[in-house]
Amino acid sequence: MFVQKLLQEIKSKGNSCVVGLDPTLEMMPDKLKRKYLLKGSMEEIAQMFWEFNKTIIDYTSELTPCIKVQIAFYERYGLPGLEVFYKTLDYGKKKGLMTIADVKRGDIGSTAKAYAQGFLTNSSIDSITVNPYFGSDGLLPFVEETKGGEKGLFILVKTSNPSSKELQDLKTEDGQFIYEKVADLVSSFAGDYTEFSHIGSVVGGTHREHLKRLREKLKGFILVPGYGAQGGKGEDIKYAFNSQGYGALVCSSRGITEHYKKIGEENYGLAAKISLEMMIEDINREIEKGVK
Amino acid sequence: MFVQKLLQEIKSKGNSCVVGLDPTLEMMPDKLKRKYLLKGSMEEIAQMFWEFNKTIIDYTSELTPCIKVQIAFYERYGLPGLEVFYKTLDYGKKKGLMTIADVKRGDIGSTAKAYAQGFLTNSSIDSITVNPYFGSDGLLPFVEETKGGEKGLFILVKTSNPSSKELQDLKTEDGQFIYEKVADLVSSFAGDYTEFSHIGSVVGGTHREHLKRLREKLKGFILVPGYGAQGGKGEDIKYAFNSQGYGALVCSSRGITEHYKKIGEENYGLAAKISLEMMIEDINREIEKGVK
């Protein structure tokens, strides 16, 4: 079951940090560019991303419980890119990691079902992210394909970008914010769990107040993107955890994978590991200080 | 430019109907199943979808100005499926059709940029659908990659599914509905056009009142899914058009591609064509009656 496996990984690794694998051309070390970019084809770029991802996973898989792979950065390079997206998730699995495919899909019922089958039923991916704009009948097919908890979902509630306020922070007639309405929707699917539900949510790491309020409301794991590069800080993010220090996943992508730019590209895998170690220390220290 | 080419196609074909290519196993004629489904592999299914799509396009490309291809139904079958998704769009283009990739992507800025480059800049696809939940900084990268009108966007405003009301019809403090707020956001990107903007929207065909109100507000094309199978009727959908009978695209998927089930599968391509002819007649008659 998704939540049990996730908690087991978190406990054995001693942290709730997630390595995000969102490769871009600008992110690649020069030595990889020299090795792969001969004609600049999509195939070459995809092959380069594959070596990069594998190296990052090899260096971080003993530390991190989970990887998150954002499909946009692969889809950008067509089918060769998408092949590396799936291969990366498979490789993470093989290394014993939990996997999140960050695909943010959302559509009407029959289409949502097709997405859910593709990413959950017909694949080894553990969990995906989902967009709630269609309401409950667009979410239900995803919930169904989790098969009562074998797989997990993370439904967007409050995103980390500045403009998220334009829609998500609108106040409705009854005084609730839109993102709270979405949180209610998420809770309605989360069922009656004594520990954590497999129906989780996504809440940006830049909103301490939101994290506080939503941690009380939500029964599932909260996936918090935006640590580091997007401005999320441990002292805010800790509010996504419960008083025992569980129930959130904190993700950093560029902060980890581009850390080599600060200390030299000779060993970009080791640089990623060092950055992850610092992140784990920061988050664990903040959790330990407690939620005041 | 996207809008000019689209209007040209609409005028030369004499209609604003769109053929949706959303293949499922259940949709396939028995003779294709017998031909392709030997082991039931993803490759076989994808190859079957490809023959099906090609046949539908061959039979309908002289009538329809545009095809819409919903990626979920291809992604469900992994990389072989996605290959057919891209091939179908290419084949439509080769047959002179305008193309909509129905991908409903939405994410924060840097990720949205990756999606926009993949589907707009690095491909021959004419337009895509986009989800607005992130607000303007999640939409802007898509707008930018349309390069001032070379490509088109359709931003979700009000969807056709029953639960769309749960979020989209919530009333905000100032008395506006969420979907109207989204429409304002769409308008803010649409620029100052004398004819139609390339920044369009998606409004479900099941909501006459919404279509009326939004046609006045929106400067771009309105993509109306849900004709036929999802319950949208010509008498409602006509409100998406302006008084000259332009400015909307009406899409039917299963209504067209599954029509053979009513008249025999011997020639499912011809059946699709017949269904499309009936749809065109219905929509054009309603437009002619005018918007009363």
Sign of CA dihedral B144, B149, B150, B153: positive
- pLDDT tens digits, residue range B67-84? 999 999 999 999 999 999
Q: What is the pLDDT of residue A175?
A: 93
Backbone angles phi and psi of B188, in degrees to 5? -65, -20
- pLDDT tens digits, residue range B260-292? 999 988 899 999 999 999 999 999 999 999 765
Helices (H) and strands (E) in chain A, counts: 14, 8
Backbone angles phi and psi of A34, in degrees to 5? -65, -35
Judged by CB atoms closer than 8 Å, whether chains meet at A161 and B77 is answered as: no
- CA B57/CA B79 separation, integer angstroms: 22
Would B210 be classed as within a structural domain?
yes
Sign of CA dihedral A31, A37, A43, A49: positive
- CA A74/CA A49 separation, integer angstroms: 9
According to DSSP, residue A150 is labeled: T
Total domain count, chain B: 1
Would B124 be classed as within a structural domain?
yes
Judged by CB atoms closer than 8 Å, whether chains meet at A133 and B168 is answered as: yes
In chain B, which stretches have pLDDT less than 50?
none
| Catalytic, out of B104, B151, B158, B273 | B104
Rounded to a whole number of angstroms, the distance from the CA of B246 to the nearest CA of chain A is 26
User: Which residues of chain A have a CB within 8 Å of the CB of B112?
Assistant: 72
Nearest by CB to B114, from A76, A115, A135: name it: A76
Q: Burial-class residue A266 by CB neighbours within 10 Å (0-12, 13-18, 19+).
A: exposed
CATH of the domain at B120: 3.20.20.70
Mean pLDDT, 10 residues at a time, over chain A (292 residues)?
Answer: 97 98 97 95 97 98 98 96 98 98 95 96 95 96 95 96 94 94 94 86 89 92 88 90 96 96 93 98 93 62
CB hemisphere CA count around B97 (13 angstroms):
30
Mutate to test the interface with A, among B73, B163, B178, B257 (most CBs of A within 10 A): B163
Would B291 be classed as within a structural domain?
no
CA distance to B13, B133, B182, B205, B218, per residue, from B106 (Å) = 32, 7, 14, 22, 20
User: Which residues of chain A have a CB within 8 Å of the CB of B81?
Assistant: 118
Q: Which residues pair with A15 in a beta bridge?
A: none
* Cβ atoms < 10 Å from Cβ of B194: 5
Judged by CB atoms closer than 8 Å, whether chains meet at A166 and B173 is answered as: no
Strands of B208-247 (E only): list them. Answer: 220-224
Q: Which domain holds residue A103?
A: 2-286
- Name the residue in chain B with its Cα closest to that of A69: B111
Helix (H, G, I), strand (E, B) or coil at B140: helix
User: Which residues of chain B have a CB within 8 Å of the CB of A83?
Assistant: 79
Would A292 be classed as within a structural domain?
no
- CA A55/CA A267 separation, integer angstroms: 10
Q: What is the pLDDT of residue A292?
A: 57
User: Which residues of chain A have a CB within 8 Å of the CB of B161?
Assistant: 108-109, 134-135, 137-138
